Amino acid sequence: MHFIKNIPAILLFVVIISFGQSCSTTTFGQHADSLFLVTENVSISYDIKRPNKRYYMPYVLEEISGLSFMSPNYVLAVDDESGRVFQYDLSKEEIIHSIEFYKPGDYEGVEFIDNKVFVLKSDGDILKFEYGSKKQLKATKYENDLNADNDTEGLGFDPDSNCLLIACKEDGRIGKEKIKGRAFYTLDIKKMKLNKKPAFIIGPDELETFWEKSRNFDYEKKRIKFKPSAIATHPISGHFYILSSVGKMLVVVNKSGEILATYPISPRVLGQPEGLCFSPSGDMYISSEGEGDRGYILKFEMKKS
């Protein structure tokens, strides 16, 4: 009380007003949720804050960097460095098989298609092999026009076009043509040939335009960070879901790359999300590197409005 008596009246008034304002000010996290969470344009949704199931990986999969759905109860995971894929049983919650397919390297994505496995390297190369009971084999490597500057991190599959989807985390250009944003390319799995023209491009400008259609408050465009780490096709809607570990968001686009929905990702829920896949029924699985601990996979059940 003595302290308050010694404060000049005008200063005391400012302190009280400032305190009242700070109590009512929306936190940055609330603003981020309000800005990033826009799902009105899609009939399918997920509660990214509340996973329905968490699967802890053994330490051999601390750096799980890619994920693909194989069949009921099974997913296929690739780790970042060892050149091995791991079949994980969701019901038993354990690895039941692994294959060493190539020498150690920077492997970022995996797709299981008609019993064939496709693995993406960060320089754009694709490794391909037949899945089976062998524990060691040598995959066939397919090079293309992408390179280490593109830092390719996301690998998906579009059954409508029978093409792999490749997401560039960094520079999206092939050749000298400049690209503003992150580029997404397609690769025909029959010819194993890359289309040199991006299927679509997403960057801060596209995200800002999308959000401004739904939100009427100011935000810092510099805070928008979008660097794709995974991409997958939804089995029911056919939309592409794009995971960005940097920037912590999930973006939903149609076949043309038009943004339809965005989700914020809490670092408390997913520390370093790197892998993404769907079950045929639409349940979503996101894997995260362990960051010094065990990696893990989270299951999010689909909701339909």
pLDDT number for residue 7: 39
Question: Are 242 and 278 in the same domain?
Answer: yes
User: Same domain for 19 and 62?
Assistant: no
Structural domain that includes position 148: 37-304
Contact 253, 167 (CB under 8 A): no
Q: What is the pLDDT of residues 106-124, one digit of tens each?
A: 999 999 999 999 999 999 9
Looking at the structure, tell me whether residues 184 and 285 fall in a common domain: yes
What is the pLDDT at residue 81? 85
**104 and 24 housed in the same domain:** no
Q: Do 85 and 18 share a structural domain?
A: no
Question: Within this chain, do residues 165 and 225 fall inside the same structural domain, yes or no?
Answer: yes
Quote the number of domains for the chain.
2
What average pLDDT does the segment 181-204 reach? 96
Number of H-type helices and E-type strands within the chain: 4, 23
**Is pLDDT of 161 > 70?**
yes
Residues 27 and 45 in one domain: no
Given a contact cutoff of 8 angstroms between Cβ atoms, the answer to whether 101 and 117 are in contact is: yes
The answer on 166 and 74 residing in a single domain is yes
Residue 126 is classified by DSSP as E
pLDDT value of position 220: 67
| pLDDT in the model for residue 40 | 87
Q: Are residues 9 and 139 in the same domain?
A: no
pLDDT tens-digit profile of 63-108?
899 999 999 999 999 988 889 999 999 999 999 999 999 999 999 9
Exposure b/e, 24-60, CB count within 10 A at least 16 = b: eeeeeeeebebbbbbbeebebbbebeebeeebebeee
* 253 in the same domain as 124: yes
* CATH at residue 286: 2.120.10
One domain for residues 56 and 181: yes
Paired tokens of 46: 């997920």
Half-sphere exposure of 220 (CA within 13 A, CB side): 4
Give buried/exposed letters for 163-178 (b at 16+ CB in 10 A, else e): bbbbbbbebbebeeee
- Kindly report, residue by residue over 239-285, the tens digit of the pLDDT: 999 999 998 999 999 999 999 999 999 999 998 999 999 999 999 99
Q: Which residue has the higher pLDDT, 30 or 75?
A: 75
Token readout for 297 is 């996979």
Do residue 6 and residue 96 come from a single domain?
no
pLDDT tens sequence across 116-156: 999 999 999 999 999 999 999 999 999 999 999 999 999 99
- In whole numbers, what is the pLDDT of the chain averaged over residues? 87
